[in-house]
Amino acid sequence: MKRGLFITFEGGEGAGKSTLIDQVSLQLTREGHSILKTREPGGTPLGEQIRKILLQGESMTAEAELCLFLAARAEHINQVIGPALEEGKIVLCDRFNDSSISYQGAARGLGIEKVAEFCNFISQGLKPDLTLCLDISPEKGLARAKARQHHDRIEAETLEFHSRIRQAYLQMHNADPRRFHLIDAEETIPQVCENAMRLIHQHV
């Protein structure tokens, strides 16, 4: 696959990813870059339908949950991410494989290695060039998320569940610090954005 630049954003609930992606997108567009902003689960008509089932639907087994996230991702890569990268765009993606590894692999207990392998198969080896993970304590992130109108099935999990997600992200940073960067999400929005842009400018 010919490449633009693939940047993913990770973090626990309410960490500030959507806020950051909007700011980064604005700034990169002003600098003259061609941007595609997208999110998971979602980004395609089928992906958006799957998103509703995953976030608003009935409870399901961890295995079913993983398969649904990956079904949405397969469509997303094929229809949206892959073509945009081929056109040379900078793709800003709210969550990708690292979310499945931390949420389903670590927090749901399906196993980090097994889920990583499954993700790699589904995404045909497509890896982000850069991942920015907004690090925040689960207590503070959930408080931010709960202050909003809409709440979903996964956000409503226990504090222990959300703590396992944070631990998994910290491990990912330790395992691959050149790609997977942690950004302190408890700083102000402009400061978080400045820290993210500093890392992005090393790649564009």
Please tell me the number of Cα atoms within 13 Å of 170 on its side-chain side. 10
Q: Which of 33, 46, 53, 55 binds ligand T5A (CB under 6 A)?
A: 55
Phi then psi for residue 173, to 5 deg, are -65, -45
Which residues from 75-114 bind ligand T5A, rule CB under 6 A? 94-95, 99-100, 103-104
- Using CA of residue 169, residue 39, residue 116, residue 89, what is the dihedral sign? negative
Least Cβ distance, residue 85 to ligand T5A (angstroms): 18
**67 scored as a contact of ligand T5A (CB under 6 A):** no
**Which of positions 32-51 make contact with ligand T5A (CB under 6 A)?**
40-41
If 0-12 CB within 10 Å is exposed, 13-18 middle and 19+ buried, where does residue 202 land? exposed
75 in Cβ contact with 67 (< 8 Å): no
- 15 part of the interface to ligand T5A, by CB under 6 A: yes
Size of the site for ligand T5A (CB under 6 A): 28
Q: Does 138 bind ligand T5A (CB under 6 A)?
A: no
Q: Is 18 in the site for ligand T5A (CB under 6 A)?
A: yes
C-alpha span between 57 and 50 (Å, rounded):
10
Q: How far is the CB of 32 from ligand T5A (least distance, A)?
A: 25
**3-class secondary structure, 89:** coil
Rounded Cα–Cα distance for residues 120 and 110 (Å): 15
Which residues, numbered 139-168, are part of the site for ligand T5A (CB under 6 A)?
144-145, 148, 152, 154-155
| Cα 1 to Cα 5: distance, rounded to the nearest angstrom | 12
Out of 69, 118, 169, 180, the only residue in the binding site for ligand T5A (CB under 6 A) is 69
Which residue ranges make up the site for ligand T5A (CB under 6 A)? 11, 13-19, 40-41, 55, 69, 94-95, 99-100, 103-104, 144-145, 148, 152, 154-155, 185, 188-189, 192
